A and B are shown apart, each in its own frame.
Chain A
Amino acid sequence: MATSRKVTLLSSDGESFEVEQSVAVESITIKDSIEEGSAGNPIPVPKVNSKILAKVIEYCKKHVESAKAEDRVDDEDLVAWDADFVKVDQATLFDLIRAANFLNIKSLLDLTCQTVADMIKGKTPEEKRKTFTIRNDFTPEEEEEVRRENQWAFE
């Protein structure tokens, strides 16, 4: 196996992170830019700040390590690790979604989006508004109409 190459990633707020190339290429975006040779060194990652980038790197490292592991029993542990990983505040969760989307890391995107989906499930519209602090911007007539169409689902 070739000696592990390292790449440096530069967050939007100017912090650099040195990671193994095998970890960095979990992101298809980064992988493509390395292969095209268009990435400089360090590779700039706009839109993703250092706090989020650190977490993304943590996720990618864990998943690359688990894939290498001989012992496949780790699957259950990985699921548990993932569940802990997403126990963050809402703002961070949405930042992670945006980062996973931009960096094109499918498994992280699925994990974070599923977490949000689970937060949406089973709640009435009022409860959903409360959970995500969303403003009710319907006019009274619009609200009446949309409720009439959908009330079977939650009343």
Chain B
Amino acid sequence: MALPVSLLVHDILLKLDLESLSAAACVSKILRSAAALALSSLPSLHLADFSPDDRTLDRILSACGGVTSLTVNCLRVNYRTLEGFLGSHIRELNLLCCSAMPPSALGSIGRKCPNLMVLVLEWAERGSYDEFTGNFHQMLSCCAYLESLCLKIRGVEGPEYAFSSEIWPKSIKVLKLQPALEDDVISLVKEIARNENWPEVIKFPSLPSICLLQSLSLHVRNISDKLVTTIAESMPCLLELELEDRPWKDPLPHGDLTNVGIQSLGSCDQLKSLSLSRNRQNCQTSFKRVNDMGIFLLSEGCKGLESVQFSGFSKVSDAGFASLLHSCKNLKNFEVRNSQSLSDLAFHDLAEAPCSLTELRILSCNLITSETVKKLAFSSKLEVLDLSGCRSIADSSFYSISSLKMLSTLDLAGADITDSGMSKLGQGSAPIQRLSLRGCRRVTDKGISQLVLSGGIVSKTLSSLDLGYMPYVSDKAAHAIATGGIAITELCIRSCFKVTDSSMEALARKGSLENGSRPIRRLDLVGCISLSVQSLQMLKKPLFRGLRWVGIGRTCLVDKGGSVLSEIYEERPWLTVCSGGCEMGCRDGWEYHGGS
């Protein structure tokens, strides 16, 4: 190329992603040394979209000595592999899906990384409660500059940890603890707020609060007024609040969230983001003691809200939700889940009010129809539209959807749409990248072909497609995707029982043709019962180049695959083959993979 090396490294190679850089190293001697220089000056490493094995991770880490911010999907990683890489140079550490990390790792992270500013840990419950607490305290005492701490712990029984501590780093601005004991959380909130040795003066509103905490996220057993009012009173300068609970039974009146609690949030007048959810996993319950009045008072107090997420507010009607939409002029992100009363009426004024919405999610609200979608045609800034579970959405929505020029994510799972809607979408001007049609039983091969072979905008921008649980999706659709969906790298054909080996073959060759089509990187084949064990051979080199994750649960590939699976692992150790039936990337089941 005859370019000066420093130009090559700093101006060209450093614009590349990690994989292109590593591949460039294999081209020639000059590129090998230039790539090595570029890799060693990368300041951050983001390995979240695949789960490396220990060997691969070790190779990557040894090449990237200059990294101070590290994000790794640790589904298949031993802490030992990471340990050697940690040190006082690490400022940010995001360890996701840690299915096999012992509690001692937490203490070790603290000791090795005293300059840590951001720590995110997704953890599968392991070891004893005391072990965890001891290590947690050690980590807190070592990391005096910690600004952002996020601990997500998942386990079989839904563990509860106590995070109370006397030593909270004074610099802490962002705190996310999932799950936590409610009583401990109340004392924790008071401890943090009191951290600056500023005693009861919090009662005097004229004095500025110097509580640094800006963002708080807590998952507790039961959200109560006491919890919410403690937070509102202790942290009036809060910018972001997320609370989720998962009660085992209907909460009693004195231990539940009511209009009083909601109203108290009105005193956090700088609040930009609010999320309140009641998870129905353990008990079919909701926030029964919050109604429109509470929401009116909230929307009066927190006019600056830019993001609102409400889940489980069964007594709030269109009037309540509409008051938020109209009062919060800067609202960008609006999400309502599981509301049986939210209907098109809440949105009917949307066309008149200037709309700054960029993300709208209305999940499992059966009264929402295409009428709401039509009102959205005026929200030309909309980037994300999620209407999954809204069964009354029909083809007529596509006239409006197709005109949304900034739309990149569209989720219509369970909607009542047909092939004719797909045709409209294929010809429209929405540059959609992520599309979910999960459970749209009336969409067939014909519709999918019209979507990806139309030559329109969508066929060029679509990168992630979810066709799960669609009984009329078969080989023809897979072939269309392999030839036409040039940018598609993530595909879910879960429970598409008509899909056969022929589809596997077509998808395996995608990306190796000269038409610029990108290869499939993540593939969900769970429940594709028509696949034969022969199709496993296609997971070997040189087919499915670049594949990172494949789900084969509930297929014969799991039972009969045996020796072939070992061969696949030997030649492609960086490929994660999930036999457990997890969703894409094991995002919902990583905590059960420990020790593999």
Contact = CB atoms under 8 A, between A and B. Distances in A.
A94 interface: yes
Interface string B60-93: 1001000000000000000000000000000000
B219 interface: no
Given A125-B24, A152-B52, A113 B12 contact: yes
B16 A124 contact: no
Nearest to A136: B28
Interface string A128-155: 1100101111100011001101101111
B28 A137 contact: yes
Given A98-B3, A155-B545, A117 B16 contact: yes
Contacts of B23: 123-125, 128, 150, 153-154
A128 B16 contact: no
Interface string B8-42: 00011101111111111111110110000000000
B16 A146 contact: no
Interface residues of B, number: 38
A57 B20 CA distance: 33
B374 interface: no
A154 B12 contact: no
B24 A128 contact: yes
Interface in A94-122: 94, 97-98, 101, 109-110, 113-114, 116-117, 120-122
Contacts of B20: 120-123, 153
A68 B125 CA distance: 60
Given A94-B3, A101-B7, A113-B12, A120 B24 contact: yes
B28 A154 contact: no
B546 A125 contact: no
Contacts, number: 96
Interface residues of A, number: 34
B348 interface: no
Contacts of B24: 120, 125, 128
Contact of B545 (A124, A125, A129, A137): A124
From A122, A129, A147, name the one whose CB has the most chain B CB atoms within 10 angstroms: A122
Contact of B3 (A97, A117, A155): A97
Contacts of A129: 27-28
A89 B23 CA distance: 24
Contacts of A121: 16-17, 20
Given A98-B3, A137-B29, A152 B15 contact: no
A136 B27 CA distance: 6
Contacts of A116: 12
From A94, A123, A124, A150, name the one whose CB has the most chain B CB atoms within 10 angstroms: A150
Contacts of A153: 18-23
From B17, B18, B32, B572, name the one whose CB has the most chain A CB atoms within 10 angstroms: B32
Interface string B129-148: 00000000000000000000
Interface string B324-338: 000000000000000
B541 interface: yes
Given A125-B24, A155-B572, A94 B545 contact: no
B15 A134 contact: no
A121 B29 CA distance: 19
B574 A152 contact: yes
Contacts of A142: 29
B490 to A, nearest CB: 15
A151 to B, nearest CB: 8
Contacts of A97: 3, 7, 11
B26 A125 contact: yes
A132 B3 CA distance: 13
Interface of A: 94, 97-98, 101, 109-110, 113-114, 116-117, 120-125, 128-129, 132, 134-138, 142-143, 146-147, 149-150, 152-155
Interface of B: 1-4, 7, 11-13, 15-29, 31-32, 52, 56, 59-60, 63, 518, 541-542, 545-546, 572-574
CB-based closest 10 A-B pairs: A153-B22, A125-B26, A117-B15, A153-B19, A150-B22, A152-B574, A113-B11, A154-B23, A152-B56, A121-B20
Given A134-B27, A136-B28, A150-B59, 5 more contacts: A122-B20, A137-B29, A152-B59, A154-B26, A154-B545
7 contacts: A101-B4, A109-B11, A129-B28, A134-B1, A134-B27, A138-B29, A154-B26
